[in-house]
Structure 1
Amino acid sequence: MITLLDYGAGNVRSVVNAIERLGESVKPVSCAEDIQRAEKLVFPGVGNFSSMMQIMDKKKYIQALIDYLEADRPFLGICLGLQALFDSSQEADGVQGLGIIPGIVKRFTVDLSVPHIGWNGINVKQPSRVFQGLRGDERFYFVHSYHVVPDDDAVVMTTTNYGYEFVSAVQKGNIIATQFHPEKSGSAGLSVFKNFLNLKIPASFPDLVTQETALSKRIIACLDVRSNDQGDLVVTKGDQYDVREAGDVRNLGKPVELAQRYYEEGADEITFLNITGFRDFPLEDMPMLEVLQKTSENVFVPLTIGGGIRDYTDKDGRVYTALEVASEYFRSGADKISIGSDAVLIVEEYLKTGKKTGCSSIEEIARVYGNQAVVISIDPRRVYVNSPDEVTHPVIKTRFPGPDGEQYCWYQCTIKGGREGRDLDASTLARICEELGAGEILLNCIDQDGTNSGFDIELINLVRNTVTIPVIASSGAGCVEHFYEVFSQTKAEAALAAGIFHRQEVPVGDVKKYLNGKVDVRM
């Protein structure tokens, strides 16, 4: 029996699924006594350091956890579950950690995008049973803005490179904790779980001990999910956001089965965009919740869900906040949520007042779950002008003249699935969303969507040079060469595609094979 310390934040379903996949049963902690009685304790901390410690204190878990750890009993901490072991964190001034390992948690100080999101390697510094059967060059999934700095190097189990070398896992007796997420790291992550659970495995080094690691460029498979005219949930794909063909919704398959296929083909992440409102449903009956729950049973890479993350009222008159909607998605298996049209409205309001309210969906979700959990999905289109003086928005000189020979353009944000343009540009939206707490940008382009003619490199460079958070390039991929083009000509951290993957015109694995040796990718 494995005891799971779930204090109520983030996606712990995937941790449960990973452990159960290995044939073990899981008991969630419901009181401090459950911690005291645990044989093996897993603590998957997610979100904000201050919020985590406050909830743990309120539930009276802290002293029981300290007692368990000081007794040197089997413990696996994940992400914030690693950071909690330390004295304090720069993320939360004045908030004490557990103090089991002397040291602090610091924010990254790099000229790279923060959060550090994606697949990176590990440099092994001491033997451990968790390395049994690993080659040593595996990549694991990271998503964090802060890293631990122990006073004593003797506890360092692994390091990872991101601008500089940081501690990515610690080991102190029977206490093991990782900054990366084993439950989101595919087969390598499942091996870490399996080895942790078997206390009889001797400590060892992997076959290969690396000296430096690199963050991979991510290949993301996107599934546009909506209800067809028969009421079934299907994956569809439109051309410039039109998903109908001969009057019917294009049906490219069932979402759970397709997600499983992409995972097996090597997709680094999977994104579900729910393009049907489902506004009549009570929150607990949302069809996408079941899709996430079933997908997370067998898919052990990050899952993002977008569409409808806003306040709404169901058919019975009950009001749900965006935070409640996001929380339910996280509990069902999502790792990140994507906010689209609502982000445009939030930024428009911010521009009127120049002040943060603290009450927007971006701010509230980031405060509870961390910046890395909030993705902003931007749906811009090109608007051509003859001169930069014609508009107040940021304008670029384009290599692709407009219909009347215009040499300049700006990128207009849209809402309602691209049907309504707003007086707001994409780079301003991205910049302010970062200020409000977003951790990543999903950058679409209506002009390129479904064209198979390549990503809009000019748009991607414009936005990527505006923000310091990761950018996912989307819309327009039609061949493997387009992925190399976007990674070689922009600083985008990831590239996303939908239709070419659904129709198997370009399998995910073919993209990886083509990129391997040209850019860092996870194979």
Structure 2
Amino acid sequence: MSSSSSSDVYLLDYGAGNVRSLVNAVHQLGYTLKTIEAPEDILKAQKILFPGVGAFGHAMSSLKSKGYVEPLKEYLRSGRPFMGICVGMQALFEGSDETPDVPGLGVLPGTVRQFRNDTKTVPHMGWNLAQLTLAQTVGIEDERQPVYFVHSYAVPYTPRQRPWAMTVTQYGDEQFVSSVQRGAIFGTQFHPEKSGAAGLAMIKAFLAAPLPTALKNPFDLELEQTYWSKVTIPRDMPLLPQDGFTTRIIACLDVRSNDNGDLVVTKGDQYDVRERADEAGAGEVRNLGKPVELAERYYHDGADEISFLNITSFRNVPMHDLPMLEVLKQASRSIFVPLTVGGGIRNVTDPDGRKFSALEVAGEYFRSGADKVSIGSDAVYAAEAYWANVAAGQPEKTGQTAIERIAQAYGAQAVVVSVDPRRIYVADPDDRAAYNDHHLITTRFPGPQGETHCWYQCTVKGGREGRDLDVIQLVVACQNLGAGEILLNCMDRDGTNSGYDLELIRAVKAAVSIPVIASSGAGTPEHFAEVIRETGVEATLAAGIFHRQEVPIPVVKHYLTERKFPIRETSAPVVGGSTF
């Protein structure tokens, strides 16, 4: 048994979010997959890919309910190749603090622990280095190339893990196991299908590797040779990891249908997406390109993530025919970095009267290729209800908000809250009644009467309606409800190309312990450097300057790299499969 056909590779999908990207990556590499649909399929496989997102307990419970646990253990004991991704790797260990009463598969010693958030943001979301502890192996051709992580739990690196830890990653003050290998069993905490060409190389190494000629039980094997490279483990090898966490550069595409019904990428001028009116009436919707074509360009330019924002929510369209679903399906075929989609993530009613929950809407997006969903107006309403419950002495959480339900099913890392605040200037900061005790911020941008203080009012419906809720109230409530990331816009800076609102970003960063994406106002490479240096945000986002190629992504990255900012370098074109 020296090789395996493409048809011998099976996908273990227990219904946890976006597996489309992994399937597309496998197809990009010239392989096909069968899906495990029954317990007996597990023992038919010659190789198994097991991706997972969300909660450890949900993953293990799903495996158990489907009758997969015992056949999977038997498969692993047979010595046949297995590749687990994210929660798929965590399942190999004995258990997780996330759900202490749920055992793992127990192939590897150790327990999955939650990151501390006292000195860093959690989830660990972004690109970081996976540094080798063994030898050159399994497609990791250059450990200086960061890979994509998105998780709140990991296995701490200790001497107990040294025989099996293939790579270790440093995040802040913690070291964790970022990939493992035991016999023919391989696992990554990062997402290779979202790690560009470097990640595709790892997947290809697994798919292309010949089957072992002599199967051994990895449960009993004291590993002395790596499966792929046949190199003895240097057990006394010193480990000198460095924190390779990088700041993400995100391209955002505002997508809507124009007056002819075609989907276009547009960009607002203070949220107005139409050109100036002519004598015949209203101007046309700005058309800056087709969504998938533009997203592919950004991928090749080295964008670390791509965000699609459905700015009209395609009202009165049946859910299964939402145009954005097709955009995601097409984009995920050739784009192997994370994709976020926003707009319309709420409870909806189809034109025929059928009702769908926000969780079901999000599920459709995940299955179509999204890695994260972004919630806007619905998050504001949820935050208002949260603080009303606090004031009434009732439980803050109901378990019914979109944030809570999606985070419970898919993990906090899958939920982004998009905030659209605007400044409300205050004449007298000592007159608390005048601003209803909202959080005041001293601003560099005086108001019309020279005011130096303001609070940031949250808006809904694409910025058309203000609410009696400030930005700090919103982000604190949303973090407590389970959101994993904040996309922080600023209506006053949008489209100005004059720089990010640093005071707003600092205030939000100080209020939460989850990652923050800075948005609105970028016009030069210096603006990206300024916001990273002055606020410590985990990511920066821009739209119009990228669409019009006024400041292309490679120019931004080159500028930041030259100045020693922690940026994922993408000097070579990121083309799926081209590096092999």
What TM-score do the two structures reach when normalised by structure 1?
0.97
SS at 2:424 equivalent: strand
In structure 2, give the amino acid aligned to 1:458: E
Q: Which residue of 1 aligns with 2:163?
A: 154
Could you tell me which amino acid in structure 2 is paired with residue 190 of structure 1?
L
1:123 and 2:150 correspond = no
Q: Select which of 354, 361, 368 maps to 1:332.
A: 368
Deviates more, 1:89-98 or 1:177-186: 89-98
C-alpha separation in 1, matches of 2:365 and 2:78: 36
- Select the residue among 1, 23, 29 that pairs with 1:22: 29
143, 152, 155: which one aligns with 1:145: 152
Aligned to 2:203, the other structure's residue is in SS state helix
Alignment of 1:199-214 (within 5 A): 199-200=209-210, 202-203=229-230, 211-214=241-244
Is 1:192 the equivalent of 2:202?
Answer: yes
> Which residue does 1:356 correspond to in 2?
397
Look up the match of 1:318.
354
Matched, 1:243 2:273: yes
* AA matched with 1:144: H
Counterpart CA distance in 2 for 1:455 and 1:158 is 37
Q: Distance in 2 between matches of 1:166 and 1:275?
A: 39
Residues 1:77 and 2:84 aligned together:
yes
1:191 counterpart letter in structure 2: A
Equivalent in the alignment of 1:286: 322
Is 1:419 the counterpart of 2:464 in the alignment? yes
SS of 1:93's partner is coil
Match of 2:110 among 86, 89, 103: 103
Instruction: Provide the residue aligned with 2:491 in structure 1.
Output: 446
Deviations 1:135-192 (A, max 9, x none): 2211100000000147442111100010221111111000000000000000000000
Measure the CA separation in 2 of the matches of 1:142 and 1:461.
24
Q: Partners of 1:128 and 1:308 in 2: how far apart?
A: 46
Separation in 2, partners of 1:380, 1:24: 47
Match of 1:93 in 2: 100
Cα distance in structure 2, aligned partners of 1:257 and 1:71 = 45
Provide the C-alpha distance between the structure 2 equivalents of 1:17 and 1:152, rounded to a whole number of angstroms: 32
Out of 300, 303, 309, the residue aligned to residue 339 of structure 2 is 303
How many positions carry a matched residue from both structures? 519
Pairwise CA distance, 1:77: 0.5
Q: Does 1:520 align with 2:566?
A: yes
1:32 alignment partner in structure 2: 39
CA distance in 2, matches of 1:199, 1:190: 14
Deviation at 1:401, TM superposition (A): 1.4
SS of residue matched to 1:197: helix
Q: Distance in 2 between matches of 1:93 and 1:359?
A: 24
Aligned partner letter, 2:553: V
Determine the C-alpha separation between the residues in 2 that align with 1:432 and 1:128. Answer: 46
Counterpart for residue 75 of structure 2: 68
Q: Deviations over 1:79-134 (max 9, x none)?
A: 000111111111112111111112100001241000000000111011364136x1
Query: TM-score, normalised on structure 2?
Result: 0.88
For structure 1, list consecutive stretches of 5 or more residues without a partner in the other structure: none
Q: Within 1, Cα distance between the matches of 2:104 and 2:188?
A: 16
Structure 2: tracts of 5 or more residues without a match: 1-6, 211-227, 234-238, 278-282, 391-395, 570-580
Q: Does 1:254 align with 2:254?
A: no
Aligned-partner Cα distance in 2 for 1:497–1:159: 32
**Identical positions, percent:** 59
Structure 1: which amino acid aligns with 2:147? F
Bigger CA drift: 89-98 or 171-180?
A: 89-98
Q: Which residue of 2 aligns with 1:215?
A: 245
Among 416, 433, 458, the residue aligned to 1:375 = 416
- Worse-superposed segment, 330-339 or 160-169: 160-169
* Matched AA of 1:162: Y
In 2, Cα distance between equivalents of 1:398 and 1:352: 29
Alpha-carbon RMSD across the aligned residues, in angstroms, is 1.3
| Contact 1:122-1:213 within 8 A present in 2 as well | no
Alpha-carbon separation, structure 2, partners of 1:397 and 1:152: 50
Shift of 1:518: 2.7
CA distance in 1: counterparts of 2:63 and 2:318, whole angstroms: 30
Structure 2 residue identity aligned to 1:244: R
Aligned 8 A contact 1:123 1:213 in 2: no
Distance 2:71 2:336 in 1: 31
Whose radius of gyration is greater, 1 or 2?
2
2:188 is aligned, of 178, 188, 200, to 178
1:202, distance to aligned residue in structure 2 (A) = 2.9
With 257-266 and 102-111 compared, the bigger mean Cα shift is at 102-111
Query: Compared with structure 1, are the counterparts of its residues 140 and 467 closer, same or farther at alpha carbon in structure 2 (3 Å cutoff)?
Result: same
**Amino acid aligned to 1:278:** F
Aligned residue for 1:234?
A: 264
> Corresponding residue for 2:575?
none
Distance 1:442 1:167 in 2: 29
